Amino acid sequence: MQTENYLIRKPSLEKLFNNLIGSGKTIFAPKAKGKLALFDNVKAYGEITEDYIVTANSAKSVVFPRTEKLFSYHKSKEKTEITDAANSSFPEVILWGTRPCDAAAFIPLTDTFNGDYKDIIFNSRREKVLLLSFSCNKSDDYCFCTSVNSGPGNTSGSDVLFTKLPGGDYLAEVMTPKGQLLVRESIDLFEPKPEEDKDRNLAVVANRFNQKEIQAKLQNLFENPVWDDKSRACLGCGSCAYVCPVCSCFDIQDEAHGNKGTHLRCWDSCGFGLFTLHTSGHNPRETQSARWRQRILHKFLYIPNKSKIAGCVGCGRCSRSCPADINILETLTSL
């Protein structure tokens, strides 16, 4: 669809929020918590913070919850009954305040859950999510979106992208039919598009590496001292995977209460030693360096080889959250 551009004034943005809340939508937006900004359920416009580069957590949990019920069961002497969680009703969710990197992450994430098998639960959630993103007007040294085909004003994945202009008003770029519908419902809040150049109002994010070059190098780098060098401090805590908007590796666990229970899909991490451990005690990825290598290869070699897009959007969350101060950029730029 052809992009539609509008101007929306700052006070109208709040009205738009109130219209959405008024129509019963669930809204997740950045909320200040101590020094952090976190995507969280918000009920009032005043709860939203604008003071963040990216939130500490990603927005992926609205489509890929940390714990997702796949089915529930009830066992009795005579029979076993299964209730399919795919038949549940999933909420309509608006993500307000996603950054272009967050929105871009929905592309590889959706791709992963839609190979030969189209994940019915993931897709049911995804269809009901609307992304209202905000361009970045500040960045930090952890950001590298421009190295992975994105950028501080990139529209990929967003339904509407708002860019703050010098006067405090916003440029609204409507990217999808879903975004169009939202604008139509509150059309009185939108004005003809401003003349302002969008790019002049964006943060500057330096290009740190060439993704194609990294992909080519990784093809023959399975055995290399860099993995050990760069992972020596790794604690195997898995926080990089938990904050990553693209990471989607999962575990399957059962939770039983007497003769009833649920079958669950839970976030997992290739950084955990238990991730690949066989029952026999054999572990194909025995060391933390083998696990770090898997993380890098999966994102920058395996996913791009398969889907032509990187499994990383350059948000820098993994590096910001690492308790051992391991920076993914340091590994990527030292290959």
- Tell the residue number behind the tokens 């098998």, with chain if given: 117
Task: Select from 71, 92, 149, 208 the one that contacts another protein (CB under 8 A).
Answer: 71
Instruction: Determine, following the binding rule CB under 8 A, whether residue 75 of this chain makes contact with another protein.
Output: yes
Q: Which of residues 202-241 bind another protein (CB under 8 A)?
A: 222-223
Instruction: Determine, following the binding rule CB under 8 A, whether residue 43 of this chain makes contact with another protein.
Output: no
Q: Residue 109 CB: number of other CB atoms within 10 A?
A: 25
* Shortest Å distance, C-beta 112 to another protein: 7
Q: Which of residues 301-330 bind another protein (CB under 8 A)?
A: 301-302, 305-306
Instruction: Determine, following the binding rule CB under 8 A, whether residue 86 of this chain makes contact with another protein.
Output: yes
Could you give the CA distance from residue 110 to residue 112 in angstroms, rounded to a whole number?
A: 5
User: Which residues, in sequence order, are CB contacts of 183 under 8 Å at separation 6+?
Assistant: 4, 6, 160, 172, 174, 190
- Of 10 and 66, nearer to another protein (C-beta) is 66
Instruction: Determine, following the binding rule CB under 8 A, whether residue 84 of this chain makes contact with another protein.
Output: yes
β-partners of residue 294 are none
Instruction: Determine, following the binding rule CB under 8 A, whether residue 119 of this chain makes contact with another protein.
Output: yes
* Shortest Å distance, C-beta 93 to another protein: 21
Sign of the alpha-carbon torsion through 223, 229, 232, 233: negative
Instruction: Determine, following the binding rule CB under 8 A, whether residue 64 of this chain makes contact with another protein.
Output: no
Q: 3-class secondary structure for the chain?
A: CCCEEEEECHHHHHHHHHHHHHCCCEEEEEEEECCEEEEEEECCHHHECCCCCCCCCCCHHHCCCCEEEEEEEEECCCCEEEEEHHHCCCCCEEEEEECHHHHHHHHHHHHHCECCCECHHHHHHHHCEEEEEECCCCCCCCCCHHHHCCCCCCCCCCCEEEEECCCCCEEEEECCHHHHHHHHHCHHHEEECCCCCHHHHCCCCCCCCCHHHHHHHHCCCCCCHHHHHHHCCCCCCCHHHHHCCCCCCEEEEEEEECCEEEEEEEECCCCCHHHCCCCCCCCCCCCHHHHHHHHHHHHHHHHHHHHCCCCCCCCCHHHHHCCCCCCHHHHHHCC
Task: Select from 13, 129, 161, 249 the one that contacts another protein (CB under 8 A).
Answer: 249
Instruction: Determine, following the binding rule CB under 8 A, whether residue 284 of this chain makes contact with another protein.
Output: yes
Task: Select from 59, 85, 143, 246 the one that contacts another protein (CB under 8 A).
Answer: 85
Instruction: Determine, following the binding rule CB under 8 A, whether residue 98 of this chain makes contact with another protein.
Output: no
Task: Select from 8, 104, 130, 270 the one that contacts another protein (CB under 8 A).
Answer: 270
Instruction: Determine, following the binding rule CB under 8 A, whether residue 88 of this chain makes contact with another protein.
Output: no
* Shortest Å distance, C-beta 54 to another protein: 24
* Shortest Å distance, C-beta 69 to another protein: 10
* Shortest Å distance, C-beta 310 to another protein: 15
Task: Select from 25, 251, 287, 335 the one that contacts another protein (CB under 8 A).
Answer: 251
From the centroid of its chain, how far is CA 171?
23
* Shortest Å distance, C-beta 233 to another protein: 23
- Of 73 and 209, nearer to another protein (C-beta) is 73
Instruction: Determine, following the binding rule CB under 8 A, whether residue 246 of this chain makes contact with another protein.
Output: no
Task: Select from 120, 206, 216, 235 the one that contacts another protein (CB under 8 A).
Answer: 120
Number of residues interacting with another protein: please give it, by CB under 8 A.
Answer: 53
Instruction: Determine, following the binding rule CB under 8 A, whether residue 263 of this chain makes contact with another protein.
Output: yes
User: Rule CB under 8 A: which residues touch another protein?
Assistant: 70-71, 73, 75, 79-80, 82, 84-86, 112-113, 115-121, 222-223, 248-256, 259, 261, 263, 265, 268, 270, 275-280, 282, 284-285, 290, 294, 297-298, 301-302, 305-306
